[in-house]
């Protein structure tokens, strides 16, 4: 049997497609699962993706808990994604309000909606993982057996996130307040569009270091921007 090697570039292409509002197909044990990202798509793309208007909405376990979907048997499993049946009222705008917490105060009354069984919970988790890597809401319209130009497998996502593939892209001395001998190091994988950055203070000696994690902002923490809520 021929084993197809994992392709981290496919994961990068899928991430880029999701950010542009394009659909992708994830290979799962239950068969191909087409994904249309709710955050970046629109009503026209939904109509092209799902002409019949039957594609359910895949949500994260956390969002399902907020919406009280765990009261329904199909969404009762702890930490399991939830699948919401496509009701007639669940058009693109309604799905956006369903998926995005920022609209909860604007549209407090939602539904009625019904959770339905997920045929492959692990595949659903990989789909939501892909959304997280894209920096997007973990919410999709999904179609079992659907098609798209870009296909991906869970192994591709694993390879994309393999920390052993990170290499140093650049490093330089960067004096900062309280640590004039600090060093800044940028590292990435071949598929990453950006870099991870570490600010090294002191002399690493192989022991576990004290680490502060920051998701995005360098302007306040490092550059001391007065416009940034993160610092100086």
In angstroms, the Cα distances linking 18 to 22, 102, 109, 212, 215 are 5, 20, 28, 30, 20
Averaged over 3-10, what is the pLDDT? Answer: 84
Output the pLDDT for position 204: 79
Output the pLDDT for position 5: 84
pLDDT digits (tens, 9 = 90+) for 131-171: 999 999 999 999 999 889 999 999 999 999 999 999 999 99
- At residue 198, φ and ψ (nearest 5 deg) are -120, 140
Fold classified for 8-160: DHBP synthase (3.90.870)
Domain boundaries, the chain: 8-160, 162-232
CB 94 within 8 A of CB 53: no
Region of 91 on the Ramachandran plot (φ > 0 left; ψ -120 to 50 alpha; else beta): beta
Q: Identify the band that residue 42 occupies on the pLDDT scale cut at 50, 70 and 90.
A: very high
Output the pLDDT for position 1: 42
> Bigger pLDDT: 93 or 2?
93
């Amino acid at each position: 049997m021929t084993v197809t090697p994992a392709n981290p570039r496919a994961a990068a292409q899928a991430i880029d497609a999701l950010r542009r509002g394009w659909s992708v197909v994830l290979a799962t044990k239950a068969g191909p699962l087409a994904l249309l990202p709710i955050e970046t798509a629109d009503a026209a793309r939904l109509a092209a993706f799902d002409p019949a208007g039957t594609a359910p909405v895949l949500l994260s376990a956390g969002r399902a808990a907020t919406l009280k979907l765990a009261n329904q048997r199909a969404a009762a499993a702890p930490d399991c994604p939830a699948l919401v049946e496509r009701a007639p009222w669940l058009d693109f705008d309604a799905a956006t309000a369903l998926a995005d917490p920022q609209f909860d105060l604007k549209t407090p009354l939602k539904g009625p909606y019904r959770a339905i069984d997920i045929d492959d919970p692990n595949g659903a988790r990989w789909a939501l993982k892909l959304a997280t890597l894209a920096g997007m809401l973990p919410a999709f319209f999904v179609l079992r057996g659907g098609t798209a130009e870009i296909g991906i497998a869970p192994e591709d996502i694993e390879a994309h996130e393999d920390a052993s593939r990170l290499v140093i892209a650049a490093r330089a001395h960067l004096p900062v307040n309280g640590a004039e001998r600090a060093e800044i190091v940028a590292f990435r994988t071949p598929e990453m569009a950006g870099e991870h950055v570490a600010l090294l203070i002191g002399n690493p000696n192989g022991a576990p270091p004290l680490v502060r994690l920051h998701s995005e902002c360098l302007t306040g923490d490092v550059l001391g921007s007065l416009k940034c809520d993160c610092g100086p």
